[in-house]
Copies of this chain bind each other. A is one copy, B any other.
Amino acid sequence: MPDTVLPRLSRGLRDLLPDQMLARQQMVDTIRGVYENYGFVPLSTPAIEYLDVLSGSAGQEAQQSIFRVTNPEKEDLGLRFDLTVPLARVIAQYPELPRPFRRYQVASVWRADKPDKGRYREFTQFDLDSVGVESEVADTEILAGMCDTLSALGVGRFLVRFSSRAILNLLLDFAGISQEQSVDVFRVLDKLDKVGLDKVKLELMQGYKDESGDTIRGVGLRAEQVEKIERFLAIRGSRNEVLGQLTDLFGKLETPVRSISDHLYALGYGDDQVSLDLSIARGLAYYTGPVFEAILLDAPQFGSVFGGGRYDDLVMRFLGQPIPAVGASIGVDRLLAALAHLGKIGQQKATARVLITNMDSSLTSEYLAMTWELRRAGIPTEFFLGSAKGPRKQLKYADEYEIPLAILYGSNEHQQGMVTVKDLIAGRENLKPTADRKEYLAQRAGQVTIPRSELVDSIRKMLAEIA
């Protein structure tokens, strides 16, 4: 025996076996359907980019997490860590692209971070962006698309929450917070969901010691500043109510957020789907206007499954001037995990709907003929190619992979011109009125015998009943 290589993957990497891939494809196809319906078009960029293209404004942390790649020319290359930077490069590189450029891209990205439960070094993002549009209609469309996507995926109850950099800037003025302090303030506000209001208040002022004795340094705001922030955060209610209270608090309120909210109301996206939530502050160093995120109300522990906002500085790195852009990104893996947790996806283990069992090798041509008749009628069919001889093991195979129908066809059936079809859907009773006791028992076992000549029609009917 030659030396063998251990079959294994490096840490943070994983395979998606067929049941996981079927769930993922179903999800991705659904999302793609929503955005193609919106008239977004697909884009593909290579996994490998120049390092200076990738890391221009990514900051030290992002740069460290880039997987470096070597080509024969020994250039400085890396694997993309998101889909936004490649989009920015494309916008700068192809001035002939239409404006607005409304594209979606679903692809792998790589980050050499410390792997953790549910956190991988290669993962999939589904991004959509409108580039070149200042109008708040673009933001409206992204928010509506988030709702339509989550509805189409059947995630159950969800909430798309949004706020805006402009509103948070008004808060800074109102509470007398400097631009220098603002980054720290927003970072602390982002913890609200996780640690609660009391700890957020302490951290905004002098800091505190947490349960494990670690010191959480404070931002150093004064009590009256924090009191103003608290009044701001206490604003709750419908989007119209929040806008009303904000106007009361600040004295005036000129923001596209009002138009976005009005458009959404008019299009039927009510407060139950989209809320104006002032605690949303998402990485504001990056976003320049509205910011969005979505949570699943039946699985809030998965956090934000869909996030985005307006980021007009997209192509600064390449062109030295801003271009308006607004978009959102779905963490495909996280959303998929949440859907699986909710039992909303991942039931499919096979693509075949019919398994033709192999009972008698002298009948192979017959089996193949049946297989192709069904396939040509558009019914996904597998002819069992394994080594298991008896029908029992083959039926177990169908059962394990949840192929709903199995065909049994031996020399008896062959002579009689009949086919036995077994319905494998567990717990399913397939009874039809009959006076014949033998037929009754066969039906109880989920088994019917049909003429060979009616194979396709009968199978089609049985599958329609199951679906």
Contacts and interface: CB of A to CB of B under 8 A. Distances in A.
Contacts of A364: 137, 263
Interface stretch (A160-168, A200-208, A380-388): A380-388
Contact of A5 (B8, B41, B317): B317
Given A10-B75, A90-B15, A369 B4 contact: no
Contacts of A8: 50, 53, 89, 93
Contacts of A256: none
A435 B167 CA distance: 59
A467 interface: no
Given A18-B43, A368-B263, A318 B71 contact: no
A98 interface: yes
Given A21-B42, A48-B10, A133 B71 contact: no
A362 interface: no
Contact of A53 (B7, B43, B93, B144): B7
A403 to B, nearest CB: 8
A49 B9 contact: yes
A342 interface: no
A132 interface: yes
A401 to B, nearest CB: 7
A387 B323 CA distance: 13
A464 interface: no
A24 B24 CA distance: 19
Nearest to A401: B98
Contacts of A97: 17
Interface in A79-132: 79, 88-90, 92-94, 97-100, 102-103, 108, 110, 112, 121-122, 130, 132
A42 B68 contact: no
Interface string A181-199: 0000000000000000000
Contact of A386 (B35, B56, B99): B99
A216 interface: no
Contacts of A375: 37-38
A426 interface: no
A352 interface: yes
Contacts of A4: 317-320
Contacts of A99: 386-387
Interface size class of A (residues with CB under 8 A): 35 or more
A317 B213 CA distance: 52
A241 interface: no
A22 interface: yes
A47 B9 CA distance: 11
B39 A382 contact: yes
Contacts of A22: 41-42
Nearest to A105: B21
A38 to B, nearest CB: 7
Nearest to A44: B16
Given A13-B46, A130-B385, A267-B368, A318 B112 contact: no
Contacts of A178: none
A397 interface: yes
7 contacts: A15-B46, A18-B103, A20-B44, A21-B41, A70-B70, A135-B385, A263-B365
List the 4 closest pairs (A to B, CB-CB), nearest first.
Answer: A39-B382, A39-B352, A18-B41, A16-B44
Given A7-B88, A15-B45, A71-B112, 8 more contacts: A4-B320, A10-B71, A36-B351, A37-B375, A47-B122, A72-B112, A102-B385, A263-B368
Interface of A: 1-2, 4-11, 13-18, 20-22, 24-25, 35-50, 52-53, 56, 67-73, 75, 77, 79, 88-90, 92-94, 97-100, 102-103, 108, 110, 112, 121-122, 130, 132-133, 135, 137-138, 140-141, 144, 263, 266-268, 316-321, 350-352, 364-365, 368-369, 372, 375, 378-383, 385-387, 397, 400-401
